[in-house]
Amino acid sequence: MSGADNVVWLGTPPFPEAARAALADTRLRANLRRATGTIRDRRLAVTAELDDWEDLRETAAALKRRTLRHLDRHLLRLEETVTAAGGTVHWAADAAEANAIVTRLVRATGENEIVKVKSMATQEIGLNEALAEAGIRAYETDLAELIVQLGGDRPSHILVPAIHRGRSEIREIFRRQMGKWGRPAAEGLTDDPRDLAEAARLHLREKFLRAKVAVSGANFAAADTGTVVVVESEGNGRMCLTLPETLITVMGIEKVLPSFADLDVFLRLLPRSSTGERMNPYTSLWTGVMEGDGPQDFHLVLLDNGRTATLADEVGRQALSCIRCSACLNVCPVYERTGGHAYGSVYPGPIGAVLTPQLVGVENAASLPFASTLCGACYDACPVKIDIPEVLVHLRSKAVEAKRRDRILPTPEALAMKAAGAVLSSPRRLAALQRLAALGARLVARDGRIGVLPGPFARWSGTRDTPAPARESLRAWWRRTREEGRTTRNGKSR
Amino acid sequence: MRIALFITCFNDMMFPRTGRAVTELLERLGHTVEFPQGQTCCGQMHFNTGYRPETLPMVRRFSKVFAGYDAVVTPSGSCAGMVRDQHRVVAAQLGDAALTEAVERVVPTVYELSELLVDVLGVTDVGAHFPHRVTYHPTCHSLRMLRVGDRPLTLLRAVKGIDLVELPAAESCCGFGGTFALKNADVSNAMLADKMRHVLDTGAEYLCAGDNSCLTHIGGGLSRLRTGVGTMHLAEILASTEGSVR
């Protein structure tokens, strides 16, 4: 599987179709409503505690904007400082290149298995699959990622990749699959969260103690010191970051921050926005290698994979400010109903709807910018103030332009829009249409309501009555009652 | 004050009674209302569906037709949001310097109804009478694009005889979203179902909002289920008086 195929999962139907299937899954709906509701309330409570929350957001947004403007400079500085601290920096233009680099590095150690701390970048490039092809087995150690991996599944949330699973499902997955990957679950495993966590702990401990190589993602990297940061809740990440001899970090190039001091703002914003906690339990920072302490060989793979192209788009580039907190998913009314799989990408929800089409080219994910009502809840929740609705409509126009370019004949929608545009830019034509609609409505409407509509409106009218156009438009009423002289002159009777 | 009414293409054809209510209300408050016959549409449907070049003539027309009034009022939060936030974008991207200038001149005079009443005209009690149980849905664009805040509720609270009840999960989207309701009909329906449940929980006779498009969506569902709950635009409640029956 190549990288682009992994940002957008092959075989996933367009959003409306995938969403339909998800909506039919009542257990999924219930899991999602409960989980997103809980996190949403917690986030509101802990952000309300800070008097300077809005200032923090503004500071973070400005910092990200500034960093992105000079991204090249900060990345070169990061390469310098990481190298000076004893690490090795690799540049990967795309998924294939990144996978090849990591595969080569693991092979060089002579190992055929690795442990991983949750990383969206490696999901994005399909690293586990690429390693498997090279005969290397990758074990996910984040609890939710472990559930996803054992279940032969895909992540459906940025922060809680297994949010779509209930605990009885998790018990079944553990019972059936753990033995195939390592230490099996204990006999008589219940679906009590404590029991499930203990099973995962025992299963993973064996891996931590054995692994010589680890692969991680990164939440941030400070260019001035060469420090890489991973933020997590369980401590499994810290096991990966400290126990193995070799540590390979795959990081999207947008994660760099100019200085160590900038972490201050983001480490305050991230946990409150993502888990609704004042502070997350584990924050690991490391700078190169230190003799006798932690991994003795450190590699940083800087991944582009569509990010430079995204950076070139003045409106769309703000999506690169994302710190993957998932606040936008948790407040999104569309995500809450469909879950993450319907987005067909490793990046679901509102941020996925703007990030994915940019990373893979809008023509390859054309339904995603339309997977939103533009209600704006995501914009209000975003700790770095990404104007997601603005980017969505921007990408919609790009999707429409791409279709215009690629097709010989215009789509029915384009024809309808053109016709509507002609009517709506002329008051004369609009008035004529209003008269016609009023006449037509009188023929089909009952009690001022229309039942079933044709064509693209059929699905609307399946669940909703449609009001009939008024017998007299406001325009006509105004002329009749307010501009009498004129109507008389035209010889019309009242 | 000389106020131009931007009725919006949707209200013009489907809900002229909302336009008549705005006119009655403002005239009752002693203002002059004009209806520029050259008006058409704000271009929101085209803009939000990705047909940006098609919106240019509408932006041009709007800035010309509504130039020179003390204020322009519209009974639609989402159309007001389109004019205020997006006409600039269209002008900058596809228009010329003259259009940008025209847009910049007209935009600051455009108000959604509750903004005009509270901020510009300085009234919160418009002398309305509406003896019914009402719940209010703050539409997304009023709420998050325009930030009208509790202006509509302040106006509603001053209405005589009204029994105003709080809508649970009021700030969650009803699922209309313009062409979203057609393109993603199933998700839209799922969102509508939750919104209807919340409306029914209030026991209200009327659901009120500042946007007829959201009300058409929710009201269409309430009507299909024969719930007996009606929908009414904010303007119509505010225009109601003891003598008038709505």
Q: Does B189 touch chain A (CB under 8 A)?
A: yes
Average pLDDT for chain A: 93
d(CA A184, CA A169): 16
Give the 3-state secondary structure of residue A293. strand
The predicted structure's pLDDT at residue B80 = 98
A371 with A353: CB under 8 angstroms?
yes
pLDDT digit string (tens) for A391-438? 999 999 999 999 999 888 899 999 999 999 999 989 999 999 988 888
In the predicted model, is pLDDT for residue A3 greater than 50? no
In the predicted model, is pLDDT for residue A494 greater than 80? no
In the predicted model, is pLDDT for residue B9 greater than 90? yes
Query: What tokens were used for A340?
Result: 């993450």
Query: What tokens were used for A127?
Result: 């690293």
Residue-level length of chain B: 246
Q: Does A459 touch chain B (CB under 8 A)?
A: yes
Q: What is the mean pLDDT of residues A121-137?
A: 96
The predicted structure's pLDDT at residue A493 = 36
The predicted structure's pLDDT at residue B246 = 62
- Report A:219-278 residues touching B (Cβ under 8 A): none
Q: Looking at beta carbons, which residues of chain A come within 8 Å of B11?
A: 474
Across the interface, whether the CB atoms of A474 and B16 are under 8 A apart is answered yes
A476 with A434: CB under 8 angstroms?
yes
Helix, strand, coil % in chain A, rounded to nearest 5: 55, 10, 30
Q: What is the mean pLDDT of residues A335-363?
A: 96
The predicted structure's pLDDT at residue A382 = 98
**Which chain A residue shows the shortest CA-CA distance from B51?**
A397
First to last CA, chain B: 27
Residue B170: CB atoms within 10 Å: 16
Across the interface, whether the CB atoms of A370 and B19 are under 8 A apart is answered no
Residue A409: CB atoms within 10 Å: 7
pTM: 0.94
Of A80, A82, A34, A419, nearest in space to A226 by CA: A82
Place of tokens 């700790």: A383
Of B160, B150, B162, B164, nearest in space to B125 by CA: B160
In the predicted model, is pLDDT for residue B63 greater than 50? yes
In the predicted model, is pLDDT for residue A177 greater than 90? yes
Q: Does A54 touch chain B (CB under 8 A)?
A: no
d(CA B84, CA B148): 13
The predicted structure's pLDDT at residue A362 = 95
CA distances from B76 to A92, B9, B110 (A): 49, 11, 11
Of A38, A53, A108, A9, nearest in space to A330 by CA: A38
pLDDT band for position A385 (cuts 50, 70, 90): very high
In the predicted model, is pLDDT for residue A5 greater than 70? no
Give the 3-state secondary structure of residue A416. helix
d(CA B219, CA B225): 10
Q: Does A469 touch chain B (CB under 8 A)?
A: yes
Write out the E strands in B116-236: 133-136, 163-165, 206-209, 230-233
**Which chain A residue shows the shortest CA-CA distance from B140?**
A375
The predicted structure's pLDDT at residue A356 = 97
pLDDT band for position A450 (cuts 50, 70, 90): confident
| DSSP states along B16-39 | HHHHHHHHHHHHHTT-EEE--TT-
State the DSSP H helix or E strand holding residue A251, giving kind and residue range, or none if neither. Answer: strand A246-252
**Which chain B residue shows the shortest CA-CA distance from A366?**
B50
Place of tokens 């957008």: A8
Q: Does B37 touch chain A (CB under 8 A)?
A: yes
Of B201, B208, B197, B114, nearest in space to B164 by CA: B208
- What is the ipTM, given to two decimal places? 0.95
| DSSP states along A208-248 | HHH-SEEEE--SEEETTTTEEEEEESSSHHHHHHHSSSEEE
Question: Any idea which of A11-20, A438-447, B63-72, B164-173 has the lowest mean pLDDT?
Answer: A438-447
Q: What is the mean pLDDT of residues A34-62?
A: 96
Across the interface, whether the CB atoms of A379 and B144 are under 8 A apart is answered yes
d(CA A461, CA B188): 12
Query: What tokens were used for A265?
Result: 């703002």
pLDDT band for position A484 (cuts 50, 70, 90): low
Choose, out of A17, A411, A474, A483, the residue to mutate when testing the contact with B (most B CBs < 10 Å): A474
Q: What is the mean pLDDT of residues A174-186?
A: 95
d(CA B12, CA B23): 13
| Residue A210 neighbours by CB under 8 Å, 6+ apart | A113
Choose, out of A331, A391, A395, A478, the residue to mutate when testing the contact with B (most B CBs < 10 Å): A478
d(CA A36, CA A157): 10
Of B232, B167, B153, B228, nearest in space to B197 by CA: B167
Query: What tokens were used for A231?
Result: 């933020």
Average pLDDT for chain B: 96
Q: Does A415 touch chain B (CB under 8 A)?
A: no
Count of A-B CB contacts under 8 Å: 183
Across the interface, whether the CB atoms of A418 and B7 are under 8 A apart is answered no
Query: What tokens were used for B201?
Result: 């929980």
CA distances from A110 to A113, A114, A116, A127, A273 (A): 9, 11, 17, 18, 41
d(CA A346, CA A354): 13
In the predicted model, is pLDDT for residue A1 greater than 60? no
d(CA A203, CA B109): 66
State the DSSP H helix or E strand holding residue A457, giving kind and residue range, or none if neither. Answer: none
Residue A9: CB atoms within 10 Å: 16
pLDDT digit string (tens) for A223-269? 999 999 999 999 999 999 999 999 999 999 999 999 999 999 999 99
| Residue A424 neighbours by CB under 8 Å, 6+ apart | A430, B9, B40, B41, B43, B46, B58
Query: What tokens were used for A145?
Result: 């990622």
The predicted structure's pLDDT at residue A49 = 95
Which of the listed ranges A187-191, A434-438, A464-468 does the model predict with the highest average pLDDT?
A187-191
- Report B:43-62 residues touching A (Cβ under 8 A): 43, 45-52, 54-55, 57-58, 61
In the predicted model, is pLDDT for residue A446 greater than 90? no
Q: Does B173 touch chain A (CB under 8 A)?
A: yes
Torsion, Cα of B83, B89, B92, B94 (10° steps): -90
